[in-house]
Amino acid sequence: MSTVHFPGETPAYRAARDELLQAEIDLRRHVEEVAAKRRRLPLGGPVPEDYVFEEATTPDGAASRPVRLSELFTPGKDTLVLYSYMFGPAMERPCPMCTSFLDGIEGSAVHIQQRVGLAVVARSPIARVQAFAHERGWRRLRLLSSAGSTFNRDYHAEEKDGSQNTIIHVFVRREDGVHHFYSSEMEFLPAVEGQNTRHIDLMWPLWNVLDLTPEGRGDDFYPKVSYG
């Protein structure tokens, strides 16, 4: 299949690699088909209220301002991607998995925002969220606190006992207001054995890079907030 050959490869390697190459082509096609089906979703429900979040106005989060969901849309763009970060007020530190994911989104944020609005919301007070962002070196993510609203509970980012869920949402703005469009619901399905739920893997550089290697993801590797 491929006309590309690498130094020292054997015919057995090339045959196996060509078989894998066809599988990769098939996977790409399927990913594109799923994305097209996602884009064809009908309009979701209108948001029940114009939720009010807190956004820091100083680097340490000591001062903040209220901002409504409808104000998070980038001027001239009618789509908003909103990530619910597992960092509740009872948590000593934020979720390591979410943090790893947001490390990757931080690097891509300026590019994403050329097409859509982008924000991250956590249940902890904004000063606490901002302090961790400063520690992490995040400078491009728009960070919000939902401590004063029912957004997390209404959109399944928080359970009745206060435990947090990670979920990524897409909202759209139309003439009659803001509507829900999409959320990563695989998180709430029973996990396939050995796969976790992997509901945001396609957007996560960590797993996509490790999936290229002979070691793979490993059976028990999970990212940490720090490795010191």
C-alpha 149/C-alpha 221 separation (Å) is 35
Last residue in a domain, options 169, 185, 201? 185
pLDDT digits (tens, 9 = 90+) for 99-151: 999 999 999 999 999 999 999 999 999 999 999 999 999 999 999 999 999 99
Q: Which pLDDT belongs to residue 197?
A: 67
- Do 24 and 66 have their domain in common? no
All residue ranges of the chain with pLDDT < 70 are 194-197
Residue span of the structural domain in which 30 resides: 14-43
Spatial separation of the C-alpha atoms in residues 143 and 129, rounded to whole Å? 7
Residue 197 placed within a domain: no
Domain check: are 80 and 176 in the same one? Answer: yes
* Residues 206/200, Cβ–Cβ less than 8 Å: no
Which CATH number does the domain housing residue 126 bear? 3.40.30.10
Residue 47 has a CB neighbour count (10 Å cut-off) of 17
Structural domains of the chain, count: 2
Three-class DSSP category at 34: helix
Any domain includes 190: no
Give yes or no: residues 31 and 87 share one domain: no
Residues 113 and 178 in one domain: yes
Copy the structure tokens of residue 196: 């976790």
115 and 18 in one domain?
no
Report pTM: 0.92
> What pLDDT is recorded for position 190?
82
Q: What number of CA atoms fall less than 13 Å from residue 160's CA on the CB side?
A: 0
